[in-house]
Amino acid sequence: MKSLVINTEPDSPYYPGVFFNAETGVCEISGESYMEEAYKFYLPLINWIKEFVLNEKRSLELNFKLIYFNTSSSRLILDILDILKKFRDEEHDVKVNWYFDPDDPDVKDEVEDFEIESGMDINLIEMT
């Protein structure tokens, strides 16, 4: 399985950076996510995670470092969390971390909503 890398582009500030490392199982989504038709961006990420959990059967860590995301992005993030919860429920090691700015209480509230909706534990980590 190959790693998935999507670099942020200065002329496309609406798209987050993505680094899903197939060797380590450590994945990161960072930046801002407020593009139109978010499903087109997130579909390869969702497919990569589905392939990883189906074929690799080893630990996976997902680090969110999103400073902003829109509603359509949040729906797809929830889809990712649902996949990870099923993988965790099959007795696999899954860790989800969400890095947030302590001065932005809205993001913390959103992440807590994700936890409730998905049933997936999310570690909130303050960025310094």
Extents of the domains making up the chain: 4-126
Backbone angles phi, psi at 101, to 5 degrees: -80, 120
Share of the chain above pLDDT 70, in %: 100
CA dist 7 → 28, 87, 96 (Å): 11, 27, 21
Q: How far apart are CA 116 and CA 123, in angstroms?
A: 13
Are the C-beta atoms of residues 122 and 97 closer than 8 Å to each other? yes
Place of tokens 């209480």: 105
Sign of CA dihedral 104, 107, 108, 110: positive
CATH class of 4-126: alpha beta
Residue 10 has pLDDT above 90, yes or no: no
pLDDT digit string, tens, across residues 82-124: 999 999 999 999 999 999 999 988 888 999 999 999 999 999 9
Write down the pLDDT at residue 107. Answer: 86
